[in-house]
Structures are given as C-alpha cells and as structure tokens.
Amino acid sequence: MDYPLIVDVFFVLLAILAVVSGWRVFCTDSMVRASFFLLVSFIAVGVIMILLAAEYLGVAMFFMMAVEMMVMAIFMVMFMMNPAGLNPMMMVHQHKFSIAAGAAVFVVLAAVALLAEFPDTPLPGDLDPVKSLGNELLGDSMLIFESAGIVLLTTMIGVVVLSSHRGRYGAAEEGSMPPGLVPGGDPAGMPEENDEGGGHHHCH
C-alpha cells in the first residue's frame, strides 16, 4: 500500500508513547496518575488504530477508555491506601513471577508477529469500515449482538445487586425484607424457612 513517510514517523512516535506511558503506570506512586498514564497509553494505541484505517475503532477507543479509566481512577481512590502516592510505594508485586510472565508473553507475541503469515489481500478502495461494521451487526452477527445486549443487562443487574446499598426494601445490611402482602403480615415472596431448594444446591 502506498502511504507517506510521515505515517511511519507518527507510528513510531505513538508506539514509543504507548510503551513509555504503559511503563510509567508501574512506576508512579499515585493511583490517579497511574490510571491516566494508562489512558494516555490507550489513546496512543487508538491513534495508531486510526492510522491503520480503523477510524471508528480508534475513536471508540478514546471514548471507551476515557470513561473506563475515569471510573477506574475513582475506584482506585476509593479502595487503595495512599491513593495520591504521598508516600512512595511499590506498584508491583511478585517480581520474579511477573518478569518471567512478561518475558514469556513478549516472546509469544513477537513470535506471532514475526512468524505468522498475514493475509495480503488489499482492501477495496471504496470500503467504508463503519458501514461494513454496521451491516455486520445487522446481518450475520445480529444474534451475537443481541445476546451481548442480554449479557450486558445481566451485568447491569449484577452490578446493582452487588453495589447498591439502598435496596428497594431498605438498607442492604439490615437484610432487606419485602413488605407483607397484608399489613403486618409475613414478607411477600420469601422462601420458607425450611426450604432448601433454593438455587445452587441443585447440581443436576
């Protein structure tokens, strides 16, 4: 394919940016900084994707990662000691194992990159990747797409169940009880005390 030299230059610069900021994630003391270094890394990758003509995916990457890293930063700050890194600390654990794992993954990926035979079919010039993506979503992959919707709905419900403190029937830790069907009656929809049939005991 024919492309100007400047694309190569930008690719190299962005690749360096992605790797360096990815590395900085592990050497900064502040959780918030770590999250946003990761964001920078993802943005660099996103720009590379745009350079590779995957315009929608690249821009979507900015979008998704900005939101996701923001949420990650929030949760980091909520649950980690010393979230701002006022005292220095080590961000990495299990050094030997992680070095070995990192090296192994690098070798495997590098091998894939070098040894695999990539298809060399040039794309048609008038291809509109966004359009083909849309047609795919409405065509062959419709079922996958819709089931993804259902899966995400389950995720949402799971999230709400796990994290919401304020249930429909009162605070979660008080063992929220639905109100009775008659005033002062037993909670509605609760299983009987001696009923052991609930859920996971049934294996088959």
Partner 1 sequence: MIVSELILPVLLVTFVLVLGAYLVAVLDEAIAGALGMPRATSVWTAPLTQGAWLLTQQANATEAPDWRAWRLAPALYLALAAIGLAVVPFSPTLIPTDLVTSVVLWGSVEALATVVIFLHGWSANTLLALIGAYRYVALGLSYILISMFVLIGVALPAESLQFSQVVASQEGLWNVIRQPLGLPLFLIVGLGMTFWGPLNLADSRDLAGGTASAVSGPPRLVWNLARAAMLVAFSGAAASAFLGGWLGPWLPGPVWMLLKMLAVLAVLLLIGRLVPRVQPERCVTLMWVVFLPLSFVDLIWAGVEALL
Partner 2 sequence: MAVSWLSRLAAQATVPVFPVRGMHGEPVLHRLALAAGIELVDSPRHASILLVAGGVPPDQHDALRRVHDQLPTPFATLWYRSEPLDELAGATRVDDPDALPEALKTIHRELMSGKRGSSPRLLPDEPPNPWEGLGDDGHGGEGMMGGVPYGRPMAMNMTDDIRDGLTLDSLTVTLGPFLPMLPPGLTAEVTLQGDLIQSWTTHSAPYPIALESAFFQALQGPVPIAELERARARYHLKRLHFGLRLAGLERLALEALRLAFEPHPGQNRVMALRRRLVRSGFFRLTTTGRGRLDENQARRVGGIAARAAGLEEDWRSGDEGYRHLNFRPLTQREGDTAARWHQTLAEIEQALQLAGQAERDAVHTRRSDGVETPRGPWGEYRPEDASGVLEELLPGLEWDEAMSTLASLDLAPLSPWSLEETSEAPVPTSVEERRA
Partner 3 sequence: MELLTLFFIVLIAAGLGLLIQWLPMRHQPMPTYPQRAPFLGGGLPETHAWNRYHVRYYPMTLLLIAFEMEMMFMYPWAVVFVEQGMKAVMEMGMFLAILSVGIVYGWREGVFKWQ
Provide the binding-site residues for partner 3, judged by CB under 8 A: 6, 10, 47, 50-51, 56, 60, 63-64, 67-68, 71, 74-75, 77-81, 83-84, 86, 128, 130-131, 133-138, 142, 145-146, 148-150, 152-153, 155-157, 159-161, 163-168
Q: Take residue 24 and report the two structure tokens written for it.
A: 């900085």
Question: Interface mask (CB under 8 A) for partner 1, residues 106-145, using x and -?
Answer: ----------------------x-x---------------
Minimum CB distance to partner 1 smaller for 33 or for 137: 33
How many Cα atoms sit within 13 Å of 7 on the Cβ side? 10
How far is residue 19's CA from residue 64's CA, in Å, rounded to a whole number? 20
How far is residue 164's CA from residue 178's CA, in Å, rounded to a whole number? 16
Residue 92 within binding range of partner 2, rule CB under 8 A: no
Binding to partner 1 (CB under 8 A) within 144-203 occurs at: none
Give the position of tokens 């799971």: 158
Judged by DSSP in three states, 180 sits in strand
CA nearest neighbour of 85 among 21, 28, 35? 28
Binding site residues, partner 2, CB under 8 A: 78, 81-82, 86-89, 165-166, 171-173
